[in-house]
Chain A
Amino acid sequence: MDSDKSEQRMLMGNEAIGRGLIEYGCTLAASYPGTPASEILASAANFTKETGVAAHIEWSVNEKVAYEVALGNSLSGKRSAVAMKQVGLNVAADPFTRSAYLGVIGGFVIIAADDPGPHSSQTEQDSRFFAQFAKVPVLDPSSPREAKDMVGEAFDLSEKHELPVMLRPTTRICHARQNVVCGPPRPLKRQAHFEKNPGRWVATPQFLYQLHSSLNDKLQRIADDAAYYPVPASSRPTRNRQAIIASGVAFSNSFELLDDLNLVDEIDLYQVRMPYPLNRNFIENIREQYEQVLVIEETYPVIEMQLIQAPNTIKGRRSGFVPNQGELTPDIIEGLISRFADRPAGQTTPTEAPRGKRPSLCAGCPHRAAFYAIRKTFPKGIFPSDIGCYTLGMNIGAVDTCHCMGACISQAAGFYHAHSQDGDDFPPIIVTIGDSTFFHAGIPGLINAVFQGARFVLVILDNDTTAMTGNQPTPQVGLRADGSRGHQVSIDDIVRSCGVGFLEVCDPYNLDAFVDLLKQGDAYCRSAQGGVAVVISRHPCLMDKRATREPGLRERVRVTDDCTGCGYCIERFECPALEFAVQSSSDTSCEDKRRVRVVEHICNGCGVCLRICPKNAIVAEVVQ
Chain B
Amino acid sequence: MKQQIIISGIGGQGVLFLTRFFAEAAMTLNLEVLTSEVHGMAMRGGTVISHVKVGGFKSPLIRTGQADTGLFLEAANLTVHLPFLKEKANIVVNTADKSLYPSIDALGVARNCCLDLAAANLILLGFAFNHQSFFCEADVARHVIRGMSKGAQTEANIAAFEAGFSSGGS
Interface positions of A (Cβ within 8 A of B): 8, 10, 12, 35-36, 38-39, 119-120, 142-143, 172-173, 175-179, 249, 252-253, 255-256, 329-331, 334, 347-351, 353-362, 389, 391-392, 468-470, 576, 601
- Decide if the interface of chain A is mainly helix, strand, loop or mixed: loop
- Spot the interface stretch: B42-50, B94-102, B125-133, B158-166: B42-50
Task: Determine how close the nearest CB of chain B comes to the CB of A176; give it in whole angstroms.
Answer: 4
Complex CA distance for A359 and B39, rounded to whole angstroms = 12
| Interface pair B35/A176, CB less than 8 Å apart | yes
Query: What would 5 A/B residue contacts be, using CB atoms closer than 8 Å?
Result: A35-B40, A173-B60, A253-B59, A331-B64, A357-B47
| Interface pair B59/A330, CB less than 8 Å apart | yes
Residue of B nearest to A576 (CB): B45
Interface residues on B, range: 35 or more
Complex CA distance for A21 and B3, rounded to whole angstroms = 32
| Interface pair B77/A38, CB less than 8 Å apart | no
Task: Determine how close the nearest CB of chain A comes to the CB of B151; give it in whole angstroms.
Answer: 15
Task: Determine how close the nearest CB of chain A comes to the CB of B21; give it in whole angstroms.
Answer: 10
Complex CA distance for A223 and B111, rounded to whole angstroms = 63
Task: Determine how close the nearest CB of chain B comes to the CB of A44; give it in whole angstroms.
Answer: 17
| Interface pair B63/A348, CB less than 8 Å apart | yes
Complex contacts, B12 vs chain A, CB 8 Å: 362
| Interface pair A120/B39, CB less than 8 Å apart | yes
Residue of A nearest to B48 (CB): A356
| Interface pair B37/A256, CB less than 8 Å apart | no
| Interface pair A468/B41, CB less than 8 Å apart | yes
| Interface pair A172/B39, CB less than 8 Å apart | no
Q: Mark B18-43, 1 if CB is under 8 A from A, else 0.
A: 01100110110000111111111111
Q: Contacts A35-B39, A120-B40 hold; do A359 and B58 have CB atoms under 8 A apart?
A: no
Complex CA distance for A391 and B44, rounded to whole angstroms = 12
Supply 17 further A-B pairs (C-beta < 8 A) apart from A142-B58, A175-B36, A601-B107.
A143-B34, A175-B37, A176-B36, A178-B33, A179-B23, A252-B58, A256-B58, A334-B63, A348-B63, A349-B64, A350-B64, A351-B83, A355-B47, A357-B45, A359-B46, A362-B44, A468-B40
Within 8 A of A (CB), among B51-65: 57-65
Task: Determine how close the nearest CB of chain A comes to the CB of B123; give it in whole angstroms.
Answer: 13
List of 10 A-B pairs having minimum Cβ-Cβ separation, nearest first: A356-B47, A120-B40, A359-B46, A35-B40, A176-B60, A348-B64, A359-B44, A177-B35, A601-B117, A356-B80
| Interface pair A177/B20, CB less than 8 Å apart | yes
Complex CA distance for A36 and B33, rounded to whole angstroms = 21
Complex CA distance for A177 and B32, rounded to whole angstroms = 11
Q: Contacts A256-B59, A334-B63 hold; do A10 and B20 have CB atoms under 8 A apart?
A: yes
| Interface pair A354/B44, CB less than 8 Å apart | no
| Interface pair A354/B24, CB less than 8 Å apart | no
B10 is an interface residue with CB less than 8 A from chain A: yes
Residue of B nearest to A357 (CB): B47
Complex contacts, B77 vs chain A, CB 8 Å: 356
Complex contacts, B24 vs chain A, CB 8 Å: 10
Complex CA distance for A131 and B11, rounded to whole angstroms = 34
| Interface pair A175/B39, CB less than 8 Å apart | yes
B79 is an interface residue with CB less than 8 A from chain A: yes
Complex contacts, B60 vs chain A, CB 8 Å: 143, 172-173, 176, 178, 249, 252
B76 is an interface residue with CB less than 8 A from chain A: yes
Complex CA distance for A349 and B61, rounded to whole angstroms = 15
